[in-house]
Copies of this chain bind each other. A is one copy, B any other.
């Protein structure tokens, strides 16, 4: 019988969402960084997101609780940023074995609360469940956010000849960044306010997985200038393509805005690089087929 390992996460999700109805108030459903809901507010849409981290997959039993908590919340906030939005309310689900230390769980919550507070979010609820012995702990964060209607950016809005841009440096996140990264909320807010960001997502599974997803949803191919990919210290192009967990912004913008954007960016965010790494093309078959990147069940 066919199992998840054979088809992988992307194909699985494709099959699951086929059977779902679409609500009249759903502006963007499954497949983007967040669901986008029209709740009757004139100026803004609500964003909904759920994300989980699993012991042995996203963190280790020996990872300090405060770092795990930070990561769990920061991942969700990164998704709100990627739609041009801001986080609001967060709900926390802890699935833990009964043998877990209370002190560890308190540290987890301190890390979550620290990250939430830094980005103006509030933990307004949650739940806990026990777990059979020797099972992996799971921390799931769901939340709501808001985006101005005029600022909403989806994954599927990329246009042919858009320049593909990436913030920061990629690769080698496992050295520590994956536990302490800062979601690019203010950077995304700045971008969507002043420029024509056609498509955007956050890089979680690695450029090699995420760029093809963005391009395909936009009905485009892509040309990637591998020599331009900004690599973290100690990483290389292969790591930048495949390591994943960068939590940087990947977005596309019309070529004629590139120079102004770069100049203003450098004045505003002098500590964070912004790099053009290629362009979207009309040819759906990409010029380079990328190896690497993370996909659940098959990786």
Contacts and interface: CB of A to CB of B under 8 A. Distances in A.
Interface of A: 1-7, 9, 12-13, 15-16, 19-23, 25-26, 29-30, 34-35, 37, 39-41, 46, 48-58, 88-89, 91-93, 95-103, 105-106, 109-110, 113, 117, 122-132, 134-136, 138, 140, 142, 144, 296-299
A31 to B, nearest CB: 8
Given A3-B101, A91-B50, A106-B16, A132 B57 contact: yes
Nearest to A92: B50
Contacts of A46: 39, 144
Contacts of A134: 134-135
A256 to B, nearest CB: 34
Given A4-B99, A129-B296, A21 B113 contact: yes
Contacts of A1: 101-103
A203 B51 CA distance: 28
Nearest to A22: B122
Given A20-B109, A23-B88, A52-B127, 12 more contacts: A1-B101, A1-B103, A20-B113, A30-B123, A30-B125, A48-B91, A49-B125, A51-B93, A57-B130, A98-B298, A129-B296, A134-B134
Per CB-CB distance, the 3 closest pairs between chain A and chain B, nearest first, are A23-B122, A142-B142, A35-B125
Contacts of A29: 124-125
A1 B109 CA distance: 18
Given A101-B1, A126-B50, A144-B48, A106 B15 contact: yes
A85 to B, nearest CB: 14
A40 B43 CA distance: 12
A3 B98 contact: yes
A129 B57 contact: yes
Contact of A109 (B16, B96, B117): B16
A142 B3 contact: no
A51 B50 CA distance: 12
B109 A19 contact: yes
Contacts of A55: 132
In this complex, the member of A37, A106, A138 whose beta carbon has the largest number of chain B beta carbons within 10 angstroms is A138
B98 A56 contact: no
Contacts of A91: 35, 48-50, 142
Contact of A93 (B41, B52, B124): B52
Nearest to A23: B122
25 contacts: A1-B102, A3-B98, A3-B102, A4-B98, A4-B99, A4-B101, A5-B98, A6-B102, A20-B122, A23-B88, A23-B122, A26-B122, A35-B89, A39-B39, A40-B41, A48-B124, A50-B93, A54-B135, A57-B129, A98-B297, A128-B297, A130-B299, A132-B136, A134-B134, A135-B136
